[in-house]
């Protein structure tokens, strides 16, 4: 056997196992009707993506479940892949082009797309390499990309299908227009910025008098598109304007005064100009009152020909000039400062222009119904549960989905317009006489391919063939989805809708929304804030296992993870501890075989064996329970505590003594320990894959198994959980701690052999102690341990009381009487307070009447125990 280094050399070992797993195709899955399956699809990261803490957490979680289920005997299939990420990718390539002083128009659509593909092949997919480093046990043979042929065909099929069902329509809608990239962006691709602006108060004169309605606006330049002035129906100030018309400045056009609840009486003047083509709310008002929507801005945010003398001007300049002219015409009342939120494009940072344009929409109401039902009826469960409410609210108020994007990178819309007749053709394949048709220029929203992901990765094709598609029928619906809460609507809800619409089945049964990873102060990690740690760098520095363990240990269900580099010590130290425990056991095993002492054939399990068996099964049961509840931090803590405290601090320490005491049982003892250690490695493998694999091979050297990840984790055996033994053991631990405590507090070196007398009247306790006296002596460095019923002595002793034991530590002249009695007095004081409280409770008639008999009995027992202890303590003082 090779010398085992003091620390795990993760740098070389990680790569070794990662390649081993992949080259041997350990995680490739095939439908296996004999086994239960566990299938998961990865939330496809952007092809431009780089692994950050969110990915690390999310993929570690998925890997934990996949490895755990695999080791529980499931046929596990975890499908990896990437998303083409329309805007992100296109913007990235456009930036590269810009460095060469070129734009995409210089290349043309076809060449540009070629270039993006080249970029993808060369630079894309970094994140998949990083997933390998993370140890993700995905099935690489099933890797998919949302622009793969099959997936693209699915996208087209679904578009055509929904179009023919009348669920996709073209409409004039206000969209968030990004003037910089010249495309509509979704609500999720914009953010709001607080901005200081001006609020202009303008007179709109009545047609037949000199009276006017004062309106307030931040955007006077859009007045050319005004088609009404609206007031609140309850606003008494404007009653006389009801059914009247006002004159639009510059154009001298008459527009009606209308009443609508939408208008806030308190804001501005209480009268609002309505510009349906350039404001979302105005558009809604316009629809209610049948108003015309007049576009006065061009796509690059300049006033168009309707603006007369101002046409061709940029917004800001036009605004200045218009205000100046209004003032000259005595139509400007005043200008106020105003702070308000302005929508900004996430990608280009340009101010979003609400713009009326022709876009393609999916009608959502009908699709939402079944998707709402399956969550309400519990067919799909969310963790944490509260996201169900969020989901209901959104689904019940769902809006139509704008799916067209004015981009080149993505799935081009399968719609062709006849050059002459304008007729619309919608099929997956182009029309035969293609020269007479123009295809719609737009591409589909990236989420239009992602919402089919759980179906399309398994070869679904929306045809009769699906019924006999073994892969699809075996793996779909998937079992588990782990994702970020931000994309509950963008992605999760839509996958449920697509699943229900196309298969009548849910796409997954449980959804876990993982924590948001923040910095130590609770701020979201971002490059601009500079509080961004590089996940990969830290993996290199501390080891992947340490990072995986730490981040899971820190992630409570439903709360954020506050991550700081120094916290990585939790995982690093634990991995080291695990490593060294294994190293020690292997060394012991070697040493024992070298000693070559004849072994006893019969070995009877003792209390320590029963205890560790019980603790192992309890911990395993806890771990499983926490996993099933998605309480990952508790799961990792349960294992951490078992390994560190029970196994290393107590079991291994006891084992050293046990072997020294009975070398004729050494082989049996160390083999038992190694067996537990193997079990520990297995239960930890899902969260700490590399170290456990490495150690497992060290332990089982020459026995030919492939990988620990293909081993089985046994069921936790409730029958082997022995609460009585665990309680007894706690008593021993208490006594050991108390004796050590006495030594330290009396200035006796821990290693100095001392005499201790334990006094107890309980036969049961004495039997227990006698069994362990040898261990207690070693653990506390005693030269004598006397167990008796009565004890008196003239010598000086340090004393303590633990449950039904009195402990006397011989001081042999080192006594510190003051310190000693101070300690006991303090304990007596505390105990007395406690007893007073109990007495009060037990003398309270109300309590005796209303509390359950069980509770009362419990309280009485506490009382007598406390009195008992008090009595013993008082005796010590005298």
Partner RNA sequence: GGGCGGUUAGCUCAGUUGGUUAGAGUACUACCUUGACAUGGUAGGGGUCAUUGGUUCGAGUCCAUUACCGCCCACCA
Residues numbered 280-299 forming contacts with RNA, rule: CB under 7 A = 280-281
Beta carbons of 563 and 78 less than 8 angstroms apart: no
Q: How far is the CB of 342 from RNA (least distance, A)?
A: 8
Site string for RNA, 353-392 (x = CB under 7 A): ---------------------------------x--xx--
Q: Which of residues 811-830 bind RNA (CB under 7 A)?
A: 830
Distance CA 308, CA 324 (A): 15
Which listed range, 238-246, 554-562, 598-606, 688-696, lies at the site for RNA (CB under 7 A)? Answer: 554-562
Q: Which of 357, 469, 471, 741 binds RNA (CB under 7 A)?
A: 741
Distance CA 431, CA 412 (A): 15
Which listed range, 48-56, 76-84, 102-110, 258-266, lies at the site for RNA (CB under 7 A)? Answer: 258-266
By the rule CB under 7 A, 652 interacts with RNA: yes
Which listed range, 403-411, 614-622, 676-684, 742-750, lies at the site for RNA (CB under 7 A)? Answer: 742-750
**672 sits in which H/E element:** helix 666-684
Beta carbons of 348 and 91 less than 8 angstroms apart: yes
By the rule CB under 7 A, 850 interacts with RNA: yes
Distance CA 26, CA 706 (A): 9
Q: Which of 661, 674, 851, 874 binds RNA (CB under 7 A)?
A: 851
Which listed range, 308-316, 356-364, 470-478, 577-585, lies at the site for RNA (CB under 7 A)? Answer: 577-585
**177 sits in which H/E element:** strand 168-178
Distance CA 785, CA 739 (A): 11
Q: How far is the CB of 687 from RNA (least distance, A)?
A: 15
Q: How far apart are the first and last CA of the chain?
A: 61
Burial of 869 (0-12, 13-18, 19+ CB in 10 A): buried
Three-class SS of 789-846: CCCCCCCCEEEEEECCEEEEEECCCCCCHHHHHHHHHHHHHHHHHHHHHHHHHHHCHH
List Cβ neighbours of 561 (8 Å cut-off, separation of 6 or more): 53, 57, 515, 516, 517, 518, 551, 554, 555
Q: How far is the CB of 232 from RNA (least distance, A)?
A: 8
Which listed range, 146-154, 271-279, 302-310, 320-328, lies at the site for RNA (CB under 7 A)? Answer: 271-279
Distance CA 282, CA 746 (A): 82
Whole-Å CA distances, 163 to 493, 494, 534: 20, 17, 45
Q: How far is the CB of 73 from RNA (least distance, A)?
A: 28
Which listed range, 304-312, 454-462, 571-579, 707-715, lies at the site for RNA (CB under 7 A)? Answer: 571-579
By the rule CB under 7 A, 674 interacts with RNA: no
Q: How far is the CB of 141 from RNA (least distance, A)?
A: 35
Q: Which of 272, 457, 623, 684 binds RNA (CB under 7 A)?
A: 272
Q: Which of residues 291-350 bind RNA (CB under 7 A)?
A: 338, 340-341, 343
By the rule CB under 7 A, 834 interacts with RNA: yes
Q: Which of 378, 846, 853, 878 binds RNA (CB under 7 A)?
A: 846
By the rule CB under 7 A, 573 interacts with RNA: yes
Q: Which of 25, 164, 365, 393 binds RNA (CB under 7 A)?
A: 393
The size of the interface with RNA (CB under 7 A), counted in residues, is 96
By the rule CB under 7 A, 584 interacts with RNA: yes
Distance CA 211, CA 213 (A): 7
By the rule CB under 7 A, 831 interacts with RNA: yes
Q: Which of 825, 844, 864, 868 binds RNA (CB under 7 A)?
A: 844
Supply the Cα-derived Rg of the chain in whole angstroms: 37
By the rule CB under 7 A, 581 interacts with RNA: yes
Burial of 595 (0-12, 13-18, 19+ CB in 10 A): exposed
Which listed range, 109-117, 564-572, 674-682, 804-812, lies at the site for RNA (CB under 7 A)? Answer: 564-572
Distance CA 178, CA 349 (A): 9
Q: How far is the CB of 341 from RNA (least distance, A)?
A: 4
By the rule CB under 7 A, 852 interacts with RNA: yes
By the rule CB under 7 A, 615 interacts with RNA: no
Three-class SS of 28-70: CCCCCCCCCEEEEECCCCECCCCCCHHHHHHHHHHHHHHHHHH
Q: The sheet that has 253-259: what strands, in order across it? A: 245-248, 253-259, 228-231, 271-274
The CB density around residue 346, as the number of other CB atoms within 10 Å, is: 15
Site string for RNA, 743-762 (x = CB under 7 A): -xx---xxx-----------
Q: How far is the CB of 585 from RNA (least distance, A)?
A: 8
Whole-Å CA distances, 627 to 21, 72, 475, 560: 24, 13, 22, 18
Q: How far is the CB of 804 from RNA (least distance, A)?
A: 14
Q: How far is the CB of 578 from RNA (least distance, A)?
A: 8
Q: Which of 633, 665, 683, 709 binds RNA (CB under 7 A)?
A: 633
Distance CA 510, CA 487 (A): 15
Q: How far is the CB of 152 from RNA (least distance, A)?
A: 28
Q: Which of 183, 217, 446, 450 binds RNA (CB under 7 A)?
A: 217
List Cβ neighbours of 144 (8 Å cut-off, separation of 6 or more): 44, 79, 80, 81, 82, 151, 453, 456, 457
CB nearer to RNA: give 183 or 568. Answer: 568
DSSP 451: T
Q: Verify cis geometry, omega within 30 degrees of 0, for the bond prior to 477.
A: yes
By the rule CB under 7 A, 58 interacts with RNA: no
Site string for RNA, 124-163 (x = CB under 7 A): ----------------------------------------
Which listed range, 150-158, 244-252, 756-764, 834-842, lies at the site for RNA (CB under 7 A)? Answer: 834-842
Q: Which of residues 721-740 bind RNA (CB under 7 A)?
A: 736-737, 740
Structure tokens belonging to residue 2: 């090779």
Q: Which of 111, 264, 305, 701 binds RNA (CB under 7 A)?
A: 264
Distance CA 667, CA 665 (A): 6
Q: How far is the CB of 192 from RNA (least distance, A)?
A: 4
Q: How far is the CB of 500 from RNA (least distance, A)?
A: 22
CB nearer to RNA: give 741 or 774. Answer: 741
DSSP 380: S
CB nearer to RNA: give 270 or 499. Answer: 270
Q: How far is the CB of 779 from RNA (least distance, A)?
A: 8
**302 sits in which H/E element:** none
By the rule CB under 7 A, 841 interacts with RNA: yes
Q: Which of 229, 362, 497, 561 binds RNA (CB under 7 A)?
A: 561
Beta carbons of 716 and 617 less than 8 angstroms apart: yes
Which listed range, 356-364, 470-478, 568-576, 789-797, lies at the site for RNA (CB under 7 A)? Answer: 568-576
Q: Which of 167, 374, 648, 674 binds RNA (CB under 7 A)?
A: 648
Q: Which of residues 473-512 bind RNA (CB under 7 A)?
A: 485-486, 489
Distance CA 818, CA 632 (A): 49
Q: How far is the CB of 547 from RNA (least distance, A)?
A: 13
Buried b (16+ CB within 10 A) or exposed e, 788-806: eeeeeeeebbbbbbbebbb
CB nearer to RNA: give 296 or 343. Answer: 343
Which listed range, 313-321, 470-478, 518-526, 693-701, lies at the site for RNA (CB under 7 A)? Answer: 518-526
């Amino acid at each position: 056997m090779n010398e085992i280094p003091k620390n795990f050399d993760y740098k070389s070992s990680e790569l070794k196992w990662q390649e081993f797993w992949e080259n041997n195709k350990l995680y490739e899955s095939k439908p296996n009707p004999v086994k239960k399956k566990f299938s998961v699809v990865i939330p496809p990261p952007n092809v431009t993506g780089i692994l950050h803490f969110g990915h690390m957490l999310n993929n570690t979680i998925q890997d934990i479940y996949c490895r755990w289920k695999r080791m529980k005997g499931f046929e596990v299939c975890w499908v990896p892949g990437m998303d083409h990420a329309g805007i992100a990718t296109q913007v990235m390539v456009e930036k590269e082009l810009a460095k060469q002083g070129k734009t995409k128009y210089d290349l043309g659509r076809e060449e540009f797309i070629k270039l993006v593909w080249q970029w993808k092949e060369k630079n894309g997919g970094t994140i998949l390499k990083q997933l390998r480093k993370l140890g993700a046990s995905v099935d690489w043979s099933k890797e998919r990309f949302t622009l793969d042929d099959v997936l693209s065909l699915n996208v087209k099929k679904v578009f055509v299908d929904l179009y023919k069902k009348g669920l996709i329509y073209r409409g004039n809608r206000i969209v968030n227009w990004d003037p910089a990239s010249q495309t509509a962006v979704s609500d999720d691709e914009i953010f709001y910025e607080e901005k200081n602006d001006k609020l202009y108060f303008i007179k709109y004169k009545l047609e037949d008098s000199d009276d006017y309605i004062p309106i307030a606006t931040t955007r006077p330049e859009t007045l050319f598109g005004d088609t009404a002035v609206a007031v609140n129906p309850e606003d008494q100030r404007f009653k006389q304007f009801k059914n009247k018309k006002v004159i639009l400045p510059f154009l001298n056009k008459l527009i009606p005064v209308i009443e609508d609840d939408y208008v806030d009486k308190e804001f501005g003047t209480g009268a609002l100009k309505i510009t349906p083509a350039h404001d979302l709310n105005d558009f809604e008002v316009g629809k209610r009152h049948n108003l015309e929507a007049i576009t006065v801005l061009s796509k690059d945010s300049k006033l168009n020909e309707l603006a007369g003398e101002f046409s061709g001007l940029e917004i800001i300049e036009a605004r200045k000039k218009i205000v100046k002219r209004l003032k000259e015409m005595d139509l400007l009342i005043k200008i106020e400062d105003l702070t308000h939120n302005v929508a900004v494009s996430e990608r280009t940072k340009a101010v979003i222009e609400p713009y009326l344009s022709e876009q393609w929409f999916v009608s959502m109401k009908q699709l939402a119904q079944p998707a709402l039902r399956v969550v309400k009826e519990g067919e799909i469960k969310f963790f944490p549960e509260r996201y169900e409410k969020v989901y209901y609210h959104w689904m019940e108020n769902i809006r139509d989905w704008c799916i067209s994007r004015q981009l080149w990178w993505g799935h081009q819309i399968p719609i062709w317009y006849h050059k002459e007749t304008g007729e619309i053709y919608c099929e997956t394949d182009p029309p035969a006489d293609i020269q007479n048709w123009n295809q719609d220029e737009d591409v589909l929203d990236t989420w239009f391919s992602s919402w089919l992901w759980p179906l399309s990765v398994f070869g679904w094709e929306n045809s009769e063939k699906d019924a006999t598609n073994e892969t699809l029928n075996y793996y779909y619906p998937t079992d588990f989805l782990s994702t970020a809460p931000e994309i509950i609507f963008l992605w999760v809800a839509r996958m449920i809708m697509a699943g229900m619409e196309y298969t009548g089945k849910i796409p997954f049964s449980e959804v876990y929304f993982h924590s948001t990873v923040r910095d130590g102060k609770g701020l979201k990690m971002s490059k601009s804030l500079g509080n961004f740690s590089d996940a990969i760098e830290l993996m290199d520095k501390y080891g992947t296992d340490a990072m995986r363990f730490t981040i899971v240990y820190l992630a409570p269900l439903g709360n954020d993870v506050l991550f700081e580099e120094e916290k990585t010590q939790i995982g690093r130290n634990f991995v080291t501890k695990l490593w060294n425990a294994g190293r020690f056991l292997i060394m012991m095993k070697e040493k024992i075989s070298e000693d070559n002492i004849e072994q006893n054939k019969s070995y009877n399990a003792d209390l320590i064996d029963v205890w560790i068996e019980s603790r192992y099964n309890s911990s395993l049961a806890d771990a499983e329970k926490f996993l099933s509840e998605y309480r990952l931090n508790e799961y990792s803590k349960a294992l951490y505590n078992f390994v560190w405290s029970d196994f290393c601090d107590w079991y291994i320490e006891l084992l050293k003594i046990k072997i020294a005491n009975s070398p004729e049982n050494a082989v049996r003892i160390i083999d038992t320990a190694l067996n537990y250690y193997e079990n520990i490695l297995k239960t930890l493998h899902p969260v700490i894959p590399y170290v456990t694999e490495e150690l497992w091979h060290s332990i089982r050297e020459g026995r030919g198994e492939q990988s620990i990840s293909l081993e089985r984790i046994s069921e936790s055996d409730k029958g082997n959980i022995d609460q009585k033994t665990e309680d007894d053991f706690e008593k021993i631990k208490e006594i050991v701690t108390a004796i050590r405590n006495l030594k330290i507090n009396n200035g006796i070196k821990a290693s100095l052999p001392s005499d201790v007398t334990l006094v107890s009247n309980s036969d049961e306790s004495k039997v227990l102690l006698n069994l362990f006296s040898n261990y207690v002596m070693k653990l506390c460095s005693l030269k004598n341990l006397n167990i008796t019923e009565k004890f008196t002595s003239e010598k000086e002793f340090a004393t303590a009381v633990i449950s039904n034991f009195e402990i006397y530590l011989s001081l042999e002249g080192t006594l510190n009487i003051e310190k000693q009695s101070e300690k006991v007095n303090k304990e007596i004081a505390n105990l007395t307070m406690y007893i007073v409280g109990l007495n009060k409770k037990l003398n309270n008639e109300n309590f005796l009447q209303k509390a359950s008999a069980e509770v009362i009995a419990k309280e009485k027992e506490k009382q007598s125990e406390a009195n008992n202890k008090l009595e013993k303590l008082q005796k010590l003082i005298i």
